[in-house]
Amino acid sequence: MIIVTGATGKLGRRTVEHLLERLPTDRVGVSVRDPRKAQDLAERGVRVRQGSFDDPASLVHAFEGAEQLLLVSLDRTGEECVTGHRAAIDAAVKAGAGRILYTSQMGAAQDSRFQACRDHAQTEDLLRATGLPWTALRNGFYAASALQLLESARHTGDIALPADGPVSWTGHDDLAEAAAAILTDEGRFEGPTPPLTGPAALDFDAVAEIAAQATGRPFTRTVVPGEAFRKQALAHGAPAPIADLMLSIFAAARNGEFTAVDPTLAELIGREPATFRTLLEHTWAE
């Protein structure tokens, strides 16, 4: 059985849907914090078990029978994040999982300027130390993250953000489909995959042009000093660690950590990954 964590979240849920297109329902299970949110999956015959990363015993039960486990990374940072991942990896070992797949990120490295990429590198080290077969899906930066950063510009027409660098923004759907493809072709990747990226690396100057073409409205790009951006984020209610985390995305982008464009994602899904323009048009049409 293939078991997916975070299956009530965006990436996990879409991965389950792609798995159900490829496998009989009784080969797919989910480990979710709140089983009520996965009731429709249970009704379709998917094994739904409660599993919280803060309750290791629940995870051992939820991972029972996992030939492969897809561990979807937690939406936390720093020690709190790695502690949760450690609990899940230990539970997978206890449950006898045959292989652990983990949603890492391109640029995962101990010396990354982006905290999340340092957390991913630490988690990959934990996986390496298990002695089990493992695969780290080095996912491209979510285009959804860029679209969140653009939310205010969408209305003002001014992309007022810190100095950045090119990022190969990538769609959730393509990454979910790639995860399902790798899960159903076990052993295709040992350890980290190549970066699974969208088709182009774009800085926010390029994004401004794309936004203008997509909407027919002018978009400007204003570079905001990092400290001013941090203050704005705090004034809008972001906790200081989140403001710092957001700022560190720009530092890592300037450092070229998200610039790679790689054909592996296209090979896995059998088509060109969605362009940033397509994803922007889709989101802004909602």
Residues that bind ligand NAP (CB under 6 A): 6, 8-12, 33-34, 37, 52-54, 72-75, 103, 105, 139, 141-142, 145
Structure tokens that stand for 229 in this block: 């951006």
Amino acid at 93: V
DSSP string over 168-183: --B-HHHHHHHHHHHH
Helix 10-22 vs helix 172-183: crossing angle, to nearest 10: 50
Q: Could you tell me which residues are beta bridge partners of residue 69?
A: 3, 100
Amino acid at 59: L
Query: d(Cα 138, Cα 265) in Å, to the nearest integer?
Result: 10
Q: From the CB of 81, what's the least distance to ligand NAP, in Å?
A: 7
Residue number with CB closer to ligand NAP (9 or 165): 9
Nearest to 163 by CA among 202, 204, 117, 201: 204
Q: Write phi, then psi, for 92 (nearest 5 degrees).
A: -65, -40
Residue number with CB closer to ligand NAP (145 or 152): 145
Nearest to 70 by CA among 177, 188, 183: 183
Residue number with CB closer to ligand NAP (158 or 203): 203
Query: d(Cα 81, Cα 72) in Å, to the nearest integer?
Result: 12
Residue number with CB closer to ligand NAP (61 or 157): 61
Residue number with CB closer to ligand NAP (37 or 157): 37
Q: From the CB of 137, what's the least distance to ligand NAP, in Å?
A: 9
Nearest to 135 by CA among 190, 187, 86: 190
Residue number with CB closer to ligand NAP (37 or 215): 37
- The neighbour count for residue 10, using CB atoms within 10 Å, is 15
Residue number with CB closer to ligand NAP (105 or 259): 105
Nearest to 174 by CA among 3, 11, 6: 11
Residue number with CB closer to ligand NAP (187 or 256): 256
Query: d(Cα 61, Cα 111) in Å, to the nearest integer?
Result: 35
Q: From the CB of 169, what's the least distance to ligand NAP, in Å?
A: 9
Helix 276-284 vs helix 204-215: crossing angle, to nearest 10: 50
